Amino acid sequence: MDKSQSTTDNMRVLVTGASGLLGTPLCALIAQRSDMTCIGLARSDLDITSFDAVQANIKKHAPHWVINCAAYTKVDDCETNEEWATTVNGSGAGNVAAAAAEVGANTVHISTDYVFDGTACEPIAADATTGPPAKLSAYGRSKLAGEQAVMQHHQNPTIVRTAWVYGLDGPCFPAAILNLARAGKLKKVVNDQHGAPTFAPDLAAAILHLIDAQTTGIFHVTNSGSCTWYDFAQYLLEHTPDIDTAIEPCSTDEFPRPARRPAYSVLDLSRYESVTGKKMRDWRAAAADYMQQMHID
Positions annotated as catalytic residues are 139
- What is the rounded distance in angstroms from the CA atom of residue 66 to the CA atom of residue 108? 6
- What is the rounded distance in angstroms from the CA atom of residue 39 to the CA atom of residue 31? 9
Question: CA-CA distances (angstroms) from residue 124 to 6, 16, 71, 119?
Answer: 40, 27, 23, 10
Q: How many CB atoms lie within 10 A of CB 150?
A: 26
Instruction: Give the residue from 11, 271, 280, 54 showing the smallest Cα distance to 164.
Output: 280
Instruction: Give the residue from 174, 289, 280, 279 showing the smallest Cα distance to 234.
Output: 174
